[in-house]
Amino acid sequence: MRVALGVSYNGSAYRGWQSQPGGLTVQDRLEAALARFATHEVSTVCAGRTDAGVHGLMQVVHFDTPLERTPFSWVRGTNTFLPPDIAVQWARTVPDAFHSRACATARRYAYVLLQSPVRPSVEAGRVGWVFHALDGEAMRDAAAHLLGEHDFTSFRASACQAKSPVKTLHRIDITRRGLPQAPRAEGPASRDDVPTCYWRFEFEGNAFLHHMVRNIMGCLVAVGQGQHPPGWMESVLGARSRDAAAPTFSPDGLYFLGPVYDAAWGLPTRTAAYDWLP
């Protein structure tokens, strides 16, 4: 039988999703836990790989097994053998035609960014950080240039193994959460004048290149800080050169929200892990 799982994880301690010879990846930990519960080797296929330090709120995987267990048994049994920063959220038996990667019609990411004169503490590893005030409208104008089907070579890591750099971005939503800006003190502006808030950037596309979201984030932040006008994003996109874009942004605030599937598969679209994220 084929089983699909929804998995959440804090990626801070791991070298990414994909199994590596030295271990210490989310896939290695999950497959080891599944093997202990199922008492046979288990090989998983995921909906979308994540890099070192990137988190997952609903990674979806599938695997084949001769065992028949109730869905909740797969959840409780596997979680017994997982470390505290990885948890199976749900399990479903699915037809053999289901493939976690090939059946996904879209993928979703969120980036949570702390804007503050002081670096993160309790949120360390879970948010990105800037200490300059950002211009939301400028970032939204810049993001609009990326919507639709484009060659995203300028936002592609050199190690990317994708066959084509052409992807389609369906939406980029940018929202700000936090207290209203306090009145500025008399005299020259200083770093202490930066209002503390959280920015959430949400991306949905048919697929993403290696480091694509983090490279886009680097450019959006550069625009938000006034280093470039919004129209610069169109120039970066058209250059089709990684050298044209800003440096790759930190992985700390990046979350894989999960894939999108046809409703006919009957899989959950949300987990409890979503609800705490700013």
Query: CA 125, CA 122: separation in Å to the nearest integer?
Result: 9
The phi-psi region of residue 39 (left if phi > 0; otherwise alpha if psi is between -120 and 50; otherwise beta) is left
What one-character-per-residue DSSP string does 46-69 give? ESS---TT-EEEEEEEEEE-S---
64 catalytic? Reply is: no
Out of 51, 135, 173, 262, the active site residue is 51
CA dihedral 37, 38, 39, 40 (to 10 degrees): -130
Is residue 137 classed as helix, strand or coil in its secondary structure?
Answer: helix
Distance CA 189, CA 169 (A): 37
CB 271 within 8 A of CB 9: no
Report how far residue 60's alpha carbon sits from residue 267's, in angstroms, rounded to the nearest whole number: 10
Torsion (CA) 151, 157, 163, 165 in degrees, nearest 10: 0
Phi, psi values for residue 46, rounded to 5° = -105, 165
User: Among all residues, which ones are annotated catalytic?
Assistant: 51
